[in-house]
């Protein structure tokens, strides 16, 4: 088949005329992506050249609006590709990610460093008062100008070339980092024998049996390095030796030596980020990053984190004392360690509030929590959700819903991908296959939430912990940010806001989960429909701040390490893991608590640059 036929038959480049204009996943194969990227990049280059070389004087329409209209095919191919890389990857997609990441970075630099384009934008900026732009258009102009300046537009040619080279290499390192973590996660599987099951609740055992069966060990139970497997195992397993084994494996992701070790990746990424900041005239990468955020300066972000750190550490110390008392009362003689905390915290919560996760989880089935998240959105925003079974999706476990507004007209397609699998990176996130805009008519968004919940056995309900239910609500808050987007220009759609604002809608939405009216309506046993008893709702409310010292310390430690790392003016040759250990020692990190993310698997800051020098934003 020749290249012309390849492109002609490529589903990524054809008309997406199925329901809701969703990607035709049933027809997309890994081999379609490279020719689609090549064709889409060629189209975008031609579009950019036409804008830059336009002999007409620059106007908002022929420059900024034209930039907003460019690259639609590339946007479409990228959205499908990178969503699949995160959610349902394979060796072919990973190889292409390593290939395409630097190419796409190079193309972006070529646009943002284009002198002719920058001159047109500067002309518009100088004439802005005369242009009479609407506020949204003025914002788009400002964001384009800022993006060009921060990419090196207007700097000497050799400086721009070095900045572009740094961007290419960082894109490659980000891809490598995430793939290394995924490889370590896939390589670990702890098969539990009958004597290893003490303390594990039925909900965990059902999910662990399903995992073992899927991984080729029918009749057994298995623990993976998915957080939805690790955390309940640490919470319930009476086998301290196995808790330690699982914890250490979880902590060592990306730090096991060999081909998947991230030490060299982190070192080079930190060096290149600092070099970029110096080339741009900033004292550190953190200063460069925060100059374009709400915080403005690293001092503001670090100051906030430090104000939280001391009281959080003091509270965690009191919590640790309570857990150590339980250890002593059981006649045991060891110091509380990180693999012990969740196990003894569960016992202490039971003692203080008469709550245990095993009692709680049957009332938090996944279906009920999805319905609860949808219902809150209906009551707050008038949204309704209707499941679609006629839309091909990328995995049998993935589901889709049409979202309609108060008028009854569709406003979005929502996709839910809830279960852990070896082909999916860890964590939970929101993304999009298509962003909302109305530059040339209404374009409705296609928004996806991705989780890593442990899948139950056939015919059994997936039961969530209260933390997992919070995660579902949190990510759905992000989803609503995309679903409710109402802008003209794609650049401003959905979560395209200041990086330290983006966590606000999601964290706000979480609070609706534990509202008594939400629990009364939707916290019901999946098997009998029995609602959560009122007494349990009251006890859950009373325990809402239980273990908050621990939770705040593990998060804030990671955020402070992120900032300290990226405040290094010249980190040449830095051993990042050793730096992290020194920083935690300086902070007085409690020995019984580990950071939420240790640097070798800290994907927020190293799998790309999204939260680099920005993990503080969950607190901002």
> Which of the residues are catalytic?
475
Residue for token pair 């908002």: 60
Find the farthest-apart pair of alpha carbons in the chain and give their distance in angstroms, rounded. 84
Tokens of 91: 């060796």
Q: Which residues pair with 430 in a beta bridge?
A: 449
Distance separating alpha carbons of residues 168 and 108, to the nearest angstrom:
10
- Pairing label, strands 410-419, 446-453: parallel
Structural element, H or E, at residue 403? strand 399-404
Give CA separation, 238 vs 201, 339, 350, 485, 591, in Å: 11, 11, 16, 47, 21
- Do residues 320 and 592 lie in contact, with contact meaning Cβ atoms separated by under 8 Å? yes
- Do residues 505 and 480 lie in contact, with contact meaning Cβ atoms separated by under 8 Å? yes
Per DSSP, the residues of 253-312 read TT-SSGGG--HHHHHHHHHHHHHHHHHTT-SSHHHHHHTTSSS-SHHHHHHHHHHHHHHH
User: Each residue of 256-282: b (16+ CB within 10 Å) or e?
Assistant: beeebbbbebbbbbbbbbbbbbebbeb
How deeply is 241 buried, as exposed, middle or buried, from its count of CB atoms within 10 A (0-12, 13-18, 19+)? exposed
Distance separating alpha carbons of residues 166 and 108, to the nearest angstrom:
12
Q: 3-state DSSP call for residue 219?
A: coil
């Amino acid at each position: 088949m020749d290249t012309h036929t390849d492109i002609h038959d490529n589903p990524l480049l054809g008309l997406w005329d199925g329901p809701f204009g969703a990607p035709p996943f049933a027809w997309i194969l890994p081999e379609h992506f490279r020719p689609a990227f090549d064709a889409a990049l060629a189209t975008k280059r031609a579009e950019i050249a036409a804008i830059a070389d336009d002999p007409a004087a620059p106007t908002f329409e022929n420059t900024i609006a034209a930039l907003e209209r460019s690259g639609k095919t590339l946007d479409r191919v990228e959205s499908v590709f990178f969503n699949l890389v995160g959610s349902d990857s394979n060796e072919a997609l990973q190889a292409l990610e390593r290939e395409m990441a630097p190419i796409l970075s190079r193309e972006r630099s070529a646009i943002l460093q284009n002198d002719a384009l920058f001159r047109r934008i500067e002309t518009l900026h100088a004439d802005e008062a005369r242009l009479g732009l609407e506020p949204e258009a003025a914002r788009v102009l400002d964001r384009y100008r800022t993006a060009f300046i921060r990419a090196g537009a207007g700097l000497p040619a050799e400086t721009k070339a070095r900045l572009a080279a740094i961007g290419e290499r960082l894109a490659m390192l980000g891809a490598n980092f995430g793939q290394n973590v995924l490889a370590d996660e896939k390589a670990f599987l702890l098969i539990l024998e009958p004597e290893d099951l003490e303390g594990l609740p039925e909900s965990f055992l059902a999910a662990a049996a399903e995992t073992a069966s899927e991984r080729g060990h029918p009749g057994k139970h298995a623990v993976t390095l998915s957080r939805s497997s690790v955390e309940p195992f640490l919470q319930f397993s009476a086998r301290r030796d196995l808790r330690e084994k699982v914890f250490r494996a979880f902590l060592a992701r990306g730090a096991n030596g060999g081909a998947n070790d991230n030490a060299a990746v982190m070192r080079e990424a930190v060096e290149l980020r600092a070099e970029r900041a110096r080339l741009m005239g900033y004292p550190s990468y953190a200063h460069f990053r925060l100059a374009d955020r709400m915080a403005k300066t690293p001092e503001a972000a670090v100051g906030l984190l430090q104000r939280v750190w001391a009281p959080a550490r003091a509270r965690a110390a009191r919590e640790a004392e309570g857990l150590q008392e339980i250890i002593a009362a059981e006649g045991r003689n060891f110091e509380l360690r990180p693999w012990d905390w969740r196990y003894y915290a569960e016992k202490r919560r039971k003692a203080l509030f008469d709550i245990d996760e095993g009692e709680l989880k049957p009332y938090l089935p996944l279906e009920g929590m999805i319905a609860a998240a949808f219902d809150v959105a209906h009551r707050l925003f008038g949204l309704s959700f209707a499941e679609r079974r006629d839309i091909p999706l990328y995995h049998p476990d993935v589901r889709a819903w049409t979202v309609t507004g108060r008028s009854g007209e569709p406003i979005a397609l929502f996709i839910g991908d809830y279960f852990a699998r070896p082909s999916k990176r860890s964590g939970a996130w929101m993304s999009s296959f298509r962003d909302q805009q109305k530059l040339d008519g209404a374009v409705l968004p296609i928004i996806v939430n991705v989780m890593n919940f442990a899948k139950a056995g056939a015919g059994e309900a997936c039961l969530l912990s209260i933390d997992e239910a919070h995660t579902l609500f949190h990510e759905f808050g992000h989803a609503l940010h995309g679903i409710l987007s109402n802008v003209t220009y794609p650049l401003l759609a959905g979560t395209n806001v200041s990086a330290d604002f983006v966590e606000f809608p999601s964290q706000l939405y979480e609070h609706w989960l534990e509202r008594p009216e939400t629990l009364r309506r939707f916290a019901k046993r999946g098997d009998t429909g029995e609602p959560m008893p009122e007494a349990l709702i009251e006890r859950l409310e009373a325990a809402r701040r239980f273990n908050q010292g621990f939770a705040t310390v593990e998060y804030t430690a990671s955020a402070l390490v992120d900032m300290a790392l990226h405040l290094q003016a010249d980190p040449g040759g830095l051993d990042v893991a050793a730096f992290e250990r020194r920083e935690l020692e300086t902070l007085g990190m409690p020995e019984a608590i580990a950071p939420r993310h240790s640097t070798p698997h800290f994907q927020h800051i190293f799998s790309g640059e999204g939260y680099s020098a920005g993990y503080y934003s969950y607190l901002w």
